Chains A and B, each alone.
Chain A
Amino acid sequence: MKPAPFAFHRPSSLADALGLLAAGEARPLAGGQSLVPMLNLRLTPVDALVELRAVPELRGAEEMPDGAVYGALVTHAAFEDGLVPDVTRGLMRHVAGRIAYRAVRNRGTIGGALALADPAADWLTTVVALDAEIGIVGVAGERWVKAEDFVLGPYFTILEPTELLTAVKVRRLPDTTRWGTYKVAVKAGEYAESLVIALIDTARNEGRIALGALDGAPLLLPQSAAAACAGTGGAALAEIVRAELAGSGRDLAPAAITLHATAVTRAIAEAVRP
């Protein structure tokens, strides 16, 4: 028994869960694959946990003509195994299968991962690249925010302590959009040293590239995306990526710029490869 003592609540409805959060110092528990290790290490003191597993409103996924909505409790393994609809031409399925390890993917959830907002974790950068919307519910009501406005910094989001992340809304990617990813990690399943999700649509001249595993929120690289859409490649593209990283205002040492620029150009290369 490693964590310090805490109280534990098991609400069976969203209203009850929100009521418990509003009542005081409690943290929501989804799959627990990050929170329980932090409790075991006593890095995160909590007075009470509100377990969300039995809250039906947070489960399941729904496909619509223009996209899909995923409940916060959808596990990484459910994405990996294709148990939920995919509107991203396989991108989310691909990303999910490379999160941590299968035993973690079976328990860990997309909502829990996003609410934690670890900069080196996979979903945060992915939903920013996909321009997804995050559903948030509190006692005051529901709101939807763009993923890039949801995350403010490492482990820091706009979620209030009394609010819950309930769902993620992802737009359907056009047939002409190609994606590429690149992750640098010290071993398979480890947190990323650099993480890139690149969406390139040369037919529509639209691109969106998100870089994660930084010291803050995922970074969008519009100049690099525009260059990639215009067909720029090789050394010319690498120079544009490096310049954009150097001018991003993030505190990036030369070695970090080299690392991230390499990851970005490799993700682009995967997206545009014939």
Chain B
Amino acid sequence: MKLPISLTVNGERVEAFVEPRLHLGDFLREHLRLTATHLGCEHGVCGACTILFDGAPARSCITLAVAADGADIRTLEGLADDPRMRVIKESFHEKHGLQCGFCTPGMLITSLDLLARKPDADAAEIRAGISGNLCRCTGYQGIVRSIQHAAAALKQPEEA
């Protein structure tokens, strides 16, 4: 039996009827057509589906859509105008933080949260911070460099 849910996605109110077994990742991609959120393993291991749930990273593939009733969800689409995310994206471009790009949405959202909580993270802390996000292309060197680059850039005072 479908249940009603009401939540905020990328700042917009969303009302829907969903089956209880529908996970949030499928809801975002298939019902709302927000396809920046990627689904990899679908059991909480790879981190590609990471979104912000009430401002904190969560795996959308192991969060039921019905459990997001009342929540404030933000996907990578909803961070397009975020100035900090723009710096992180530019750093991933600059320092080769991606190759095929499949893991990138999760990496970017995890990086945004990591640099907010630990703006001075060293390389070891960055590696620990992204340990829940798997990348099968880069070998992580470029990703770590990207996040270090973003960390330094985010500490610069805003240009007038």
A51 lies within 8 A of chain B by Cβ: yes
Check if B132 sits within 8 Å of A100, measured CB to CB. Answer: yes
Of residues 83 through 103 on chain A, the ones whose CB sits less than 8 Å from some CB of chain B are: 100-103
Q: Give the segment of B50-58, B81-89, B96-104, B151-159 that binds chain A.
A: B50-58
Q: Give the segment of B7-15, B60-68, B72-80 that binds chain A.
A: B60-68
Cβ–Cβ < 8 Å partners of B121 in chain A: none
B59 lies within 8 A of chain A by Cβ: yes
Of residues 132 through 159 on chain A, the ones whose CB sits less than 8 Å from some CB of chain B are: none
B128 lies within 8 A of chain A by Cβ: yes
In the assembly, what is the distance between CA of A103 and CA of B11, in Å? 21
A41 lies within 8 A of chain B by Cβ: yes
Check if A102 sits within 8 Å of B132, measured CB to CB. Answer: yes
Check if B47 sits within 8 Å of A103, measured CB to CB. Answer: yes
In the assembly, what is the distance between CA of A32 and CA of B44, in Å? 10
Check if A102 sits within 8 Å of B113, measured CB to CB. Answer: yes
In the assembly, what is the distance between CA of A29 and CA of B62, in Å? 12
Q: Which of B23, B43, B129 has a CB less than 8 Å from the CB of A41?
A: B43
Check if A103 sits within 8 Å of B19, measured CB to CB. Answer: no
Cβ–Cβ < 8 Å partners of B110 in chain A: 102-103
Residue of A whose beta carbon sits closest to that of B1: A7
Cβ–Cβ < 8 Å partners of A77 in chain B: 56
Q: Which of A10, A37, A51, A103 has a CB less than 8 Å from the CB of B58?
A: A103
Check if B21 sits within 8 Å of A1, measured CB to CB. Answer: yes
Check if A103 sits within 8 Å of B21, measured CB to CB. Answer: no
Max count, chain B CB within 10 A of own CB: residue among A4, A29, A36: A36
Residue of B whose beta carbon sits closest to that of A37: B43
A226 lies within 8 A of chain B by Cβ: no
Check if A40 sits within 8 Å of B43, measured CB to CB. Answer: yes
Residue of B whose beta carbon sits closest to that of A41: B43
Residue of A whose beta carbon sits closest to that of B54: A106
> Which A residues form the contact surface with B (CB < 8 A)?
1-8, 10, 29, 32-33, 36-37, 39-41, 49, 51, 53, 77, 100-104, 106-107, 187-189
> Which B residues form the contact surface with A (CB < 8 A)?
1, 3, 19-23, 26, 42-44, 47, 50, 53, 56-59, 61-64, 66-67, 69, 110, 113-114, 127-129, 131-133
Q: A1-B23, A103-B47 are in contact. List 8 more A-B contacts (CB 8 A).
A: A33-B59, A36-B64, A102-B113, A102-B132, A104-B44, A107-B58, A107-B62, A187-B131
Can you give 12 A-B contacts (C-beta < 8 A)?
A1-B22, A1-B23, A5-B20, A29-B67, A32-B62, A33-B59, A40-B23, A100-B132, A102-B113, A107-B58, A107-B59, A188-B128
